[in-house]
Each structure stands twice: as structure tokens, then as C-alpha cells.
Chain A
Amino acid sequence: MELIFEGLREAVARILTLDRDLLEAASASLVTSGSATSLSVVTGVPLGAALGLGRFRGRGLLLALANTGMGLPPVAVGLFVAVFIWRSGPAGQLEWFCTRQAIITAQYLLAAPTIVGLTAVAVQSIDPMMRLQLTALGATRLQSIALLMRESRLLILTAVMAGFGAVISEIGASLMVGCNIKGDTRILTTAIALETSKGEFGAAFALAFVLLGIIFALNALTTWAQQRARPQ
């Protein structure tokens, strides 16, 4: 028990004193996971909307791929990205191995399918007659899609948060392609693993609390947005 209490006391101290290593890892996590999620939103939300609303050849296959992608093992993604950006790999000239770009790439591959798949579900959950009503009101196809996406904004927000939540808590891919370099590619999850392996439980607790705090804040924000949208 003393080990735990000592670790917790040290964790609190590190957080209150804004420990430099802690801040660097938190910052790296937010930057990499934020970038990966942003890229996933930019590409995944329109693709998800197209899959949800469109009727074209290959749509079913793409939806199946997105759904499969939601369950991709991070280490498999890490392996794939590592081989791709390895010095002698197809994209070796980019020299991304052991960089934040590598982590962002791996996390993008993990977040995007979740955002695509859940966005498709979100827009499909709208009454199909609403599309007809918008067309009847004189909406162009783009206007209709924009209005339907706005109408399903809460579910799309949930999709984005699910994508972010998945990548900020993953470790396998980031460790494999980022190499856990202190002050650069060391993110919260890889730092927790490292500190735990060294027996530095105070540092590990502090990192874990910050990670949990970020995840809690995101969920609180999502819940607040959902509750705010409920009719009074």
C-alpha cells in the first residue's frame, strides 16, 4: 500500500509543479492525436457522409472496410506503417521513422475508419424522407448534404470523439513507429509504459492521471453538447 500512496503523492506533486517531462508527453499526445483526428475528420467525415447518403458501386465494400477498420489492432497498423516508412521501405525517403509524422500516420489509420463508419451511421439515422423534403424545398445536392450533416452533428461529434479517444489511448502503433524519444515522440501512453517498466510509479501515475483527465474532459464536453441539444 505504501508503494501506491508514495506513487500517488509523487504524482500529485508532479502535476502541481507542472513537471516538464509530464507536460512534454501531454503536449506530444495532444499534438499527434489532435493532428491524426483532424486529418481523419477532414477526410473521414465527407467520406462517411458519402457512404451514408450515396448510392454508388462499391459503397457496400467501402462500408465493410470502414467497419473492419474500426477494429484494427494498433500493433498491426504499427507494423504496416513501420515497414512502409522504414529506410528501405516504399516511403523510406520521407525519413519519418521515429518522428511525430509517423505517429500521426499510424493514428490516422486507426482513427479514420472509426470516423468514416460512425459518420455513415450518423447520417443514415436521419429520416430518409428528410432528404426528399430538402430536395422539395429546392436544395441542391450539396445543400442537402450540408443540412443533413448539420442535422446529425451530435452523432458526428460522437464519432470524432470516439476516433480521438481511440488514438490518444493507444500505445502499440505509436511505440513501434515513434520510438518513444524523450521530448519528441514520447507521448502519454508510451511514457506510462516506460516509467512503469522502470518502477517509477509516481511518474507513471501522474502521466496516467493526465491521460484520464483528457479523456474525461472530452467525454464531459460530448455529454454537455448532447444534453444541450435536448429539447427543454
Chain B
Amino acid sequence: MSGTILEAEDFAVARGGREVVRAHELRIREGEALAILGPNGAGKTSLLLALATLLPFAGRLRFRGSSIDRPLAFRRRVAVAFQRPLLLDRSVRENASLGLALRGVSRRERDQRAHDALVRLGVAHLAGRSARTLSGGEAQRVSLARALAVEPEILFLDEPFSALDAPTRETLVADLARVLRARGVTTVLVTHDRDEALSLSDRVAIVMGGRLRQIGDAASVFATPVDSEVAAFVGVENVLPARVVSVTEELTTLRVADHLVEVTADVPAGDDFPLLCIRPDDVIIAREPGPTSARNALAGTILRLEPIGRRVRVLLDCGFPLVAHVTVRSARELGLAEGDVVTASFKATLPHLLARHRAA
């Protein structure tokens, strides 16, 4: 990765006379994959469309250090793929080469480049087919091939997998991640799916309520959300009011309800009453208290067991509500049932402390 390829400052997008999203500063680095993540209606698609100059915006937008004075010229150096494939009633080959045709590329060259893109997305064998005969997954692959065929300097993706069924989506995400990494294409992806963001991106920007709330490495944003709303969105279900009891060089001891909890996270400056954030995946459930490397072990009663896909969400009463995620297999092997008393443990290194005054 090198310098900034696209830079937005004091950037605001209005639709229907109402400001829908604002970003004080957003820099996209060349070669990176940035996921714009947020709940429905947060303004992330508007932000992406404005960055691609497909929506009017206020503020400054610079591409490779220069102001974008001619949007058409800019759009011919980037590509956008949408949630729906939006293919024309033509052959797959013609669709894949459409962006190149609009750029005046010779037929021979565009056929070759479209073919290469179709091969990369695994749909070259469909080249002669009418686009109207494709399945949803095939059509989205052709749409992505069309975007990649122009060899964009930035690839904008607006929830390109959300209309697909789960198996098709998982395969396509994996294939696209491989293609993007192999070619080092700068990518801006809008999604509300955390797994997609983690699979495809190097950095994550969280957009909530029309504001860019946090941006950073995917792992750090997921581990250390800036406020309780972001925490909830990135899957930190346990945001617990705590009180600082003691701070040593290695450990901070907190009181949460009647329990003492030890963490290695730094206490937010000047805040003796921070919020303790623990991801449900970081909580381990055991039938009996036993030897463990986790410094924190709490007895709790199972209040509810809720299957969520391949996992089970376990809601515990430990004197305060605590949520843990276990695999379906673990839940079965442990014989978990509502009303059971179990031990919930988590390592001191895993929780994150959030300043109470930034609790959104």
C-alpha cells in the first residue's frame, strides 16, 4: 500500500433537501480494501455514491491529490457494482465489455479483457449466453467482471452480495476476495454484514446515523469500538457499567455489580466509571469451575438459549446480564439448558474499556 488515492474533506451528502451523511475526513489508501459498515439507513450507500461522483455533494473530493473537476473522466477511471447486477438485455460477453466499449476501447482488446475478467470470476463459460437467462449469483459475477474488466483504479461495491442466498454469497465473497487481493485493487465496499467486511477489507469505516463514527483496521474497530452504539453494531453485546477499583502496571481491577473483573485494557483518561465491553465470542462457558488460563470466572444462571445459525446465544445472569456465544456442538456436549448454573470465563486481555461520557 502507498499513499492516499481518494480524499474527502468536510464531505456531506444531501438527498431530498436533507443531509443524509457527513464525513469530516475520509482518506482511501491506494491498494487497500475499505469496508463502509453500518446499519440500514445509516447513509453508507449515499456516501459511496457521492465518493463515486454519482450523487452531488458538498465539501472537497480529491483523486490522486487533485480536485475532481471532470466527473466523467473520474468515472472512467473507477468502477461501481451495485446490489443488483443491472445487466443489459445482451450477451454476457457484451455486458462484461460494456464499460470498455463506452471508453472507446477497440473490440479486440475489450473482448480479451472482458474474457479475462469473466475467467477471474469463474463465468467465462457463460460468455455467449443471454444475460437474462442467468441465475442471481451468475449475474452478480458478470456484473463484477464488468467492473473489473475496465481495470479500475478504485472499485466501489454497493452491497453486491446482499441479494444472494447464503451459499452463493459465501462462495462469491471468497472468490472476489481472492481476485481483489491478487490484483491489489483499491476497493470501497458498502455492507451491513460484519463477516463480509472482515473477509474483504483491510480497514473498516463505521457509519451510523449519517455520521462517520470510526475508521481503522478491521481488527481494531471490532475489538475497540469508540462508543456503545458502535460496540453494539460490531457485535459487542456486553457493554457493562463498571467502577475502577485499582490500577497496576499490568492489570486494572473493576467492579461490575458484585464481581471483581481484571482486565489489561487501559482505563479511559479521567474516567473511574468506564464501560466494560466484552464480545460474546470471548466468553467461555463451562459446566464446572476448573483450571483455566482466564483470569475472570463468574458463576451464572442460564436465562435463555437462542440458536443463531451455527451458534447458540446464551444469556446468563451473573448478577448482571452477560451474553456468550457457543457453537451448537458445544451447547449439545455441555448439555446446556435454561436454569442451569454454569461458569462463564474470559481472559483479562480481551475486554475493552469505553469512556462512559462517549457512550453515545
Contacts and interface: CB of A to CB of B under 8 A. Distances in A.
Partners in one complex: yes
A16 interface: no
Interface stretch (B58-66, B83-91, B335-343): B83-91
A129 B82 contact: yes
Interface stretch (B13-21, B30-38, B72-80, B180-188): B72-80
B259 interface: no
Nearest to B104: A138
Contact of B133 (A129, A229, A231): A231
B54 A132 contact: yes
Interface in B142-167: 146, 150, 156
B132 interface: yes
A129 B52 contact: no
A136 interface: yes
Contacts of B76: 138
A127 interface: yes
B269 interface: no
B252 interface: no
Interface stretch (B95-103, B240-248, B298-306): B95-103
A214 interface: no
A143 B52 contact: no
Given A130-B86, A143-B102, A151-B89, 10 more contacts: A127-B84, A129-B82, A132-B82, A136-B156, A137-B75, A137-B146, A138-B75, A138-B99, A138-B102, A231-B132
A127 B88 contact: no
A194 interface: no
Given A133-B80, A231-B130, A231-B132, A139 B86 contact: no
Contacts of B98: 137
Interface in A170-186: none
A135 interface: yes
Nearest to A140: B72
A134 B72 CA distance: 11
B185 to A, nearest CB: 16
Interface of A: 127, 129-130, 132-140, 143, 147, 150-151, 229, 231-232
Nearest to B88: A151
A119 to B, nearest CB: 17
A135 B54 contact: yes
27 contacts: A127-B86, A129-B86, A130-B86, A132-B49, A132-B82, A135-B54, A136-B52, A136-B54, A136-B79, A137-B79, A137-B80, A138-B72, A138-B75, A138-B102, A138-B103, A138-B150, A139-B102, A140-B72, A140-B102, A143-B102, A150-B88, A151-B88, A151-B89, A229-B89, A231-B130, A231-B133, A232-B133
A137 B99 contact: yes
Nearest to A141: B72
A229 B86 CA distance: 18
B89 A136 contact: no
Contacts of A139: 102
Contacts of A150: 88
Max count, chain B CB within 10 A of own CB: residue among A137, A140, A143, A229: A137
B156 to A, nearest CB: 8
A195 B56 CA distance: 66
A176 B265 CA distance: 94
A78 to B, nearest CB: 40
A139 B79 CA distance: 12
A152 B150 CA distance: 26
Contacts of B133: 231-232
A133 B144 CA distance: 12
Question: Which 9 residue pairs spanning A and B have beta carbons closest together?
Answer: A136-B80, A138-B76, A133-B86, A231-B132, A137-B99, A231-B133, A138-B102, A138-B75, A139-B102
